[in-house]
Structure 1
Amino acid sequence: MIKIYAPASIGNINVGFDTLGMAISPQDGSLLGDCVTITSNNSFDLQNVGKFSSQLPQNIKKNIVWKCWNHFCIILKKKISCSIILEKNMPIGSGLGSSACSIVATLVAINKFCKLPLNEKKLLSLMGKIEGEISGEPHYDNVAPCYYGGLQLIINENNYISQPVPYFKKWIWIVAWPGINISTSSSRSILPSKYKKEICVEHSRLLSGFIHASHTKQESLAIMLMKDIIAEPYRIQLIPNFLEIKKTVLNLGAINFGISGSGPTIFVVCNKQSRAVKIKQWLSENYLKNKNGFVHICQLDLLGARKIGI
């Protein structure tokens, strides 16, 4: 039996639309991500369990796990007989890389089950391909950090899919999911099909500056450059009272604030634990819409997808 855990991730991180992503894990040690267990069987069998399993499609061929299994069967040119259990602990359409969690956990598990026929790069390439089938186009800002861990810059040039970026160890990350869903496709469709040259130049300046600041350990410069001029101006209409919430959280001591991936999850960056605790409390009381919502104080997950349990 093989059981793989794949962590949640924050895509874009304001400054890096479709090019930056980071894996996160709660400080309290809880698992914020999906788990996949695979065992030998005479045929293929798939079971869905977990808090958010009811959100999954009834048609098995529309299930992400089935898609991953089917792609692997095509690659190996044979049917893989196994039993797979998906623990769907991540809400779909949350902006925390829910589909990436399922894809990464499943492909890592199947690859191990089949004695590692795919190397890391081929496996990551397959992850991006399947993610693209779900969101409409291949992208790696969730699957790469979910697989490798840490903060990843998406290169996607020849054999270079992603590269790790140095991180600021004292940064504390808070994620708040209100308990409602926004589909990635609808969140992407709200963006302009074209951007002015000035916006493109500005985005290039911010992203390159952030990467430089990260490598040279200039914390204040990195924070200053973490601005979202590509998606946030348009996606805030999907999140009620976004600007008021942002203002309040920054007044409570946050050093940065933004939309995680496609939303509606928001992320907050702090450099003091006491402030993080206050912000978590405020978000719990003012941002959550129902009992399904959650707020976690997190740190960077440096391990990525890994085997757990037995």
Structure 2
Amino acid sequence: MITVYAPASMGNVSVGFDLLGAALAPIDGSLLGDTVSIEAAATGISLTVTGPFAHKLPAQVQDNIVYQCAEYFALQRQYTGGLSLVLSKNLPVGSGLGSSASSVVAAFVAINSFFGEPYSRDELLLMMGEFEGKISGSIHYDNVAPSFLGGMQLMLSAPSMLCAGMPVMEEWYWVVAYPGISLSTSMMRELVPTSLPTSIALQFGQQLSGFIHALHTHDSTLALSLLTDVIAEPYRCDAIPQFNEAKHQLLAMGLSACGISGSGPSLFAVTTDKALAVAAKQWLQQHYLVSDSGFAHVCHIDQQGSRQL
């Protein structure tokens, strides 16, 4: 049996709407992401779904994105044997932590490995984006790319390169909190205007290019000062309960930046102070989480991405 883990991810990372994403690794060593296991079976395709958020997925396995990935792969490879898959759904649906991307990445990496890796990295990435787009409502790679490849990935969409890994500030601590409610990604995308003033477009370009420059020159102070969202957060923040209050409190505590993870409702905050990161996590656990399914972690960037367990 082959088992593949794909980490959770933050899309946008505030400064890079649809263009920047980062994989997450809790510093306590726990795994924050989905796993998919695969082995040969006598006939047909079967899928068993386990994990704390299994009940949030479609009741019919044929409607599950992992089943559809396996069905597509078997058809492309003209495979007539059987496949038995198990999805451990450890990420909450509609959380802003790349839940669907994690499932899709784990599925495609596991299935590709099962078949002897017939597809290249970029071929897999294209398929991952297409399938994840079925759930999120549009094709974008800022979750699947970091979950697949690890690190912080900048989407290039150039003919010769879909994305590129960015230098990572290893001294940064990322505090991530999921409040325990779900928000539809497609609904949250509809809150963002389809056109923006030229001044905002220029500000977005300046901040993203400045942030990328700061990463390459390892200028932590400059990078943190630019880590703001002028595209989506102004239109999404009010739709996320307690986000504005939490951001105000975290910045008042001394954290350097705070933003919406993906389309929410999860948030992230950044600091170079580990003790402050732990304090922020504790505050979020007490004030931002609204159900037993919520959680908060102090993370580094996951440099490995998807991998066999």
Is the Cα–Cα contact under 8 Å of residues 121 and 159 in structure 1 kept in the other structure? Answer: no
Is the Cα–Cα contact under 8 Å of residues 21 and 142 in structure 1 kept in the other structure? Answer: yes
Residue 219 of structure 1 corresponds to 220
Residue 246 of structure 1 corresponds to 247
Residue 64 of structure 1 corresponds to 65
- 1:133 Cα deviation from its structure 2 partner: 1.7
- 1:159 Cα deviation from its structure 2 partner: 2.8
Is the Cα–Cα contact under 8 Å of residues 4 and 35 in structure 1 kept in the other structure? Answer: yes
Q: Tell me, in whole angstroms, the C-alpha distance in 1 between the residues paired with 2:102 and 2:245.
A: 31
For residues 191-234 of structure 1, give each alpha carbon's deviation from its aligned partner in whole angstroms, at most 9, with x where no partner exists: 11211111111101110111011101111111111110000001
Q: Tell me, in whole angstroms, the C-alpha distance in 2 between the residues paired with 1:293 and 1:79.
A: 42
Residue 19 of structure 2 corresponds to 19
Residue 103 of structure 2 corresponds to 102
Mapping of residues 255-266 of structure 1, within 5 Å: 255-266=256-267
Residue 282 of structure 1 corresponds to 283
Residue 116 of structure 2 corresponds to 115
Mapping of residues 78-227 of structure 1, within 5 Å: 78-79=79-80, 81-227=82-228
Q: Tell me, in whole angstroms, the C-alpha distance in 1 between the residues paired with 2:305 and 2:125.
A: 12
> How many residues of Structure 1 are paired with residues of Structure 2 in the alignment?
308
Tell me which amino acid in the other structure corresponds to 2:33: G
Aligned with 1:244: secondary structure?
A: helix
Is the Cα–Cα contact under 8 Å of residues 40 and 81 in structure 2 kept in the other structure? Answer: no
Farther off after superposition, 284-293 or 61-70: 61-70
Tell me which amino acid in the other structure corresponds to 2:243: F
Note the aligned Cα RMSD (angstroms): 1.0
Aligned with 1:152: secondary structure?
A: strand
Return 5+ residue gaps in structure 1 as ranges: none
Is the Cα–Cα contact under 8 Å of residues 25 and 299 in structure 1 kept in the other structure? Answer: yes
Q: TM-score, normalised by structure 2?
A: 0.98
Q: Tell me, in whole angstroms, the C-alpha distance in 1 between the residues paired with 2:101 and 2:229.
A: 22
Tell me which amino acid in the other structure corresponds to 2:18: D
Query: Structure 1 residues 80, 7: CA separation in 2 closer, same or farther (over 3 Å shift)?
Result: farther
For residues 134-161 of structure 1, give each alpha carbon's deviation from its aligned partner in whole angstroms, at most 9, with x where no partner exists: 2222110000000010000011121311
Q: Tell me, in whole angstroms, the C-alpha distance in 1 between the residues paired with 2:42 and 2:260.
A: 45
Return 5+ residue gaps in structure 2 as ranges: none
Is the Cα–Cα contact under 8 Å of residues 281 and 298 in structure 2 kept in the other structure? Answer: yes
- 1:40 Cα deviation from its structure 2 partner: 1.0
Aligned with 1:302: secondary structure?
A: coil
For residues 148-192 of structure 1, give each alpha carbon's deviation from its aligned partner in whole angstroms, at most 9, with x where no partner exists: 100000111213111000111100011100000001001101111
Farther off after superposition, 138-147 or 128-137: 128-137
Tell me which amino acid in the other structure corresponds to 1:150: G
For residues 251-285 of structure 1, give each alpha carbon's deviation from its aligned partner in whole angstroms, at most 9, with x where no partner exists: 11211100000100000101111101111111100
Query: Structure 1 residues 56, 167: CA separation in 2 closer, same or farther (over 3 Å shift)?
Result: same
Tell me which amino acid in the other structure corresponds to 2:127: L
Q: Tell me, in whole angstroms, the C-alpha distance in 2 between the residues paired with 1:79 and 1:99.
A: 27
Q: Tell me, in whole angstroms, the C-alpha distance in 2 between the residues paired with 1:265 and 1:98.
A: 12
Residue 237 of structure 2 corresponds to 236
Q: TM-score, normalised by structure 1?
A: 0.97
- 1:80 Cα deviation from its structure 2 partner: 5.1
Q: Tell me, in whole angstroms, the C-alpha distance in 1 between the residues paired with 2:163 and 2:298.
A: 26
Residue 307 of structure 2 corresponds to 306
Residue 294 of structure 1 corresponds to 295
Query: Structure 1 residues 207, 80: CA separation in 2 closer, same or farther (over 3 Å shift)?
Result: farther
